[in-house]
Amino acid sequence: MNVGIVGASGFAGLELLKLLLQGHDVEVKALNSQRFAGKKVSSLDQTFPSKGLRFTGYSIEQLIDLDLDLVFLCLPHGEAAKLAPKFGCKVIDLSADHREVKEAGEKRVAYGLPELFADEIRRADLVANPGCYATACILSALPLTSKGWLKRTVFDCLSGYSGAGREKTSAPEFKARVKDNAWAYDLTGHRQGPEIQAVLGNRFSFTPHVVPLFRGLLCTQHAALKQPKAGRDVLKAYEAFYKGKPFVQVWGKGCPDLASAQGKPFFAVGGFEGKENGELVTVGSLDNLLKGAASQAVQNMNLLLGFPEGKGLVE
């Protein structure tokens, strides 16, 4: 199977390239970056395992002529929608461009959350990879909505600054601001809000924060339940819901922190502390560049191309 990455020099694109080269049977025919075409991949990441590998700078016509089985679009928001319909192969879009649509030209679109939409993903022509915040928020609340327990919930999310992208985070003013600092942004209008709403309905509030760490995402959920539930009963519900879902870890004791998910392709959730007034608190963690981007894209590729879901991600 031949695949290509368009936008391979971004943080998510590089993580994706590492996963495909280190643990998968597919052949990466294109690692496109118009900005860094011809330069060594290791010039952006000195830990990259293949020191001689260089970015390509193919035109869209040349990419199409490569006869790829699948292409990953790791492009700025707004750019993927222009390119996706031009490819005759399967497409996985890591931007926000297709997360709220069902069709893109003649392509059938699926929202790429494997824990909920695996069958739709297998039948799709284009998969819209979920956002990192949306992944954490949705996976935090899904067992509650499936049980009909959830009245309303609040997601308080902290994320490393890599989510802002390579170009923005390399600017001197951004580096100065992020040093020993944290801030909230897009208080009510974050672009990932609509994709959370599409799954959970209009029963949530979501506020993202940037913290002075490169990678990782922590999602604390304050859920108002219709009826109070004991923590042990909530834990059982989460364990039952995610049974057979290899990339969600349910913690029976304690709470995951940022470090517990950094560099790993999993979403971890724990806490499950309830109050008599019906409030429930859970804490979830993922790597925003992996389960929030690249490793989730590999999960979706595996489903699209008929590989085991965990191929290239777990031993």
**String of DSSP letters for the chain:** -EEEEESTTSHHHHHHHHHHHHH-S-EEEEEE-TTTTTSBGGGT-TT-S-TT-B-B---HHHHHHT--SEEEE---TTTHHHHGGG-SSEEEE-SSTTTT-SEETTEEEEE--HHHHHHHHHH-SEEEPPPHHHHHHHHHHHHHHHHT-EEEEEEEEEEEGGGG-HHHHTSHHHHHHHTT--EE--TTT-TTHHHHHHHH-S-EEEEEEEESSSS-EEEEEEEEESS---HHHHHHHHHHHTTT-TTEEE-SSS---STTTTTSS-EEEEEEEE-TTSEEEEEEEE-TTTTTTHHHHHHHHHHHHT--TTTTT--
Domain at 2-129+293-305: CATH code:
3.40.50.720
How much is the average pLDDT of 156-175?
90
Closest Cα to residue 208, out of 248, 154, 253, 247?
Answer: 154
| Of 275 and 2, the one with more pLDDT | 2
| Whether residue 208 has pLDDT greater than 90 | yes
So what's the pLDDT on residue 32?
Answer: 97
- Other Cβ atoms less than 10 A from the Cβ of 274: the count is 20
| Whether residue 168 has pLDDT greater than 90 | no
Is the domain spanning 132-286 CATH 2.40.160.10? The answer is no
| Whether residue 276 has pLDDT greater than 90 | no
How much is the average pLDDT of 246-256?
96
In tens, the pLDDT along 55-66 reads: 999 999 999 999
So what's the pLDDT on residue 193?
Answer: 94
126 by Cβ neighbours in 10 Å (0-12 / 13-18 / 19+) ranks as: buried
So what's the pLDDT on residue 105?
Answer: 83
How much is the average pLDDT of 174-194?
93
How much is the average pLDDT of 193-215?
94
How much is the average pLDDT of 60-80?
95
Please, which residues have CB within 8 angstroms of residue 145's CB and are 6 or more apart in sequence? 200, 201
| Whether residue 202 has pLDDT greater than 90 | no
How much is the average pLDDT of 211-238?
96
| Of 235 and 278, the one with more pLDDT | 235
Q: Which residues pair with 32 in a beta bridge?
A: 6, 56
Q: Is 132 a catalytic site residue? A: yes
Q: What is the mean pLDDT of the chain?
A: 94
| Whether residue 283 has pLDDT greater than 70 | yes
Mode of pairing for the β-strands spanning 217-225 and 279-286: antiparallel
So what's the pLDDT on residue 220?
Answer: 98
In tens, the pLDDT along 109-147 reads: 999 999 999 999 999 999 999 999 999 999 999 999 999
Domains 2-129+293-305 and 132-286 are alike in CATH topology: no
Spell out the domain ranges in the chain: 2-129+293-305, 132-286
Looking at 74, 132, 137, 157, which residue is catalytic? 132
pTM value > 0.85: yes
How much is the average pLDDT of 256-277?
94
So what's the pLDDT on residue 315?
Answer: 66
